[in-house]
Amino acid sequence: MDIHSTKKGTRWVRSAASSVAIGVLLLIVTRRLCVTVRIYGASMRPTMRGGDLLLGIRFPQRQGIVGYYVRKLLLKNGAIVLAHLRTNPVYVVKRVDGLAGEFRYWHDGGSGVRLSQIPNDHVFLISDAAQSSKPSEDASVDSRHYGPQRSSDISALLFLRYFPPSTTAALHVGG
C-alpha cells in the first residue's frame, strides 16, 4: 500500500463525515424551523384537498419582541397559516383575510352579525370554501363566526404543497 492511496482514503472518510455532519445539522435546523401539515376536511377547497401535505415556517413560540416582529413581517392578507384557535383545541389551516385596523363582518356574540374593526395584534382568518363575507351564509367555521384571532395564536406560515406530487406548488404567502 503506498502513501497516496492512504491519503485518498483519509480524504474520503473526512468528506463523508463532513457530509453526514452537515446533513444532521440541516435536519435539526429544519425540524426546528419548519412544520409539515396534512389537510383534513374540505374547508380550504379548492386550494387544498384532504390528504394534501404542506410545508411551512414555524413562528417563534414566545410572545416576546422577536415573535411579534416575525409575525408582523410575515402575516399578510392572502397568506395561508396554521393556527391554534381559542375556540377549538386542534390546529386549523386558514387564509389571512384581514389585518389589524381593517373592517370585516363577524358574529357579535349575540344573534347578529356586524361590521367591526379588527383589533391591534389580531388577524381575520377565513376558509377558502367560504362563498360569502357574511357568516350566516356559509357552513365553514372561521373568523366570521368566532371573530379575529390573536396574531400570537398563528403557529406557522405555510408556503409549499408537496404531496401529492402532481399538485406540488408554492402557496400564496400574502402581500
**Per-residue pLDDT reduced to its tens digit, 112-146:** 788 999 999 899 999 988 654 454 444 578 888 88
| Positive or negative torsion for Cα 80, 84, 87, 92 | positive
Fold of 34-170: Umud Fragment, subunit A (2.10.109)
pLDDT value at position 78? 93
Least confident of 26-30, 67-71, 99-103: 26-30
Type and span of the H or E element at 106: strand 103-107
Grid-cell match 435539526, residue found: 28
Q: Residue 40 and residue 73: Cα distance in Å, rounded?
A: 28
Give tens-digit pLDDT for 30-82: 777 889 999 988 888 888 999 999 999 998 876 677 777 888 888 999 999 99
Residue ranges covered by each domain of the chain? 34-170
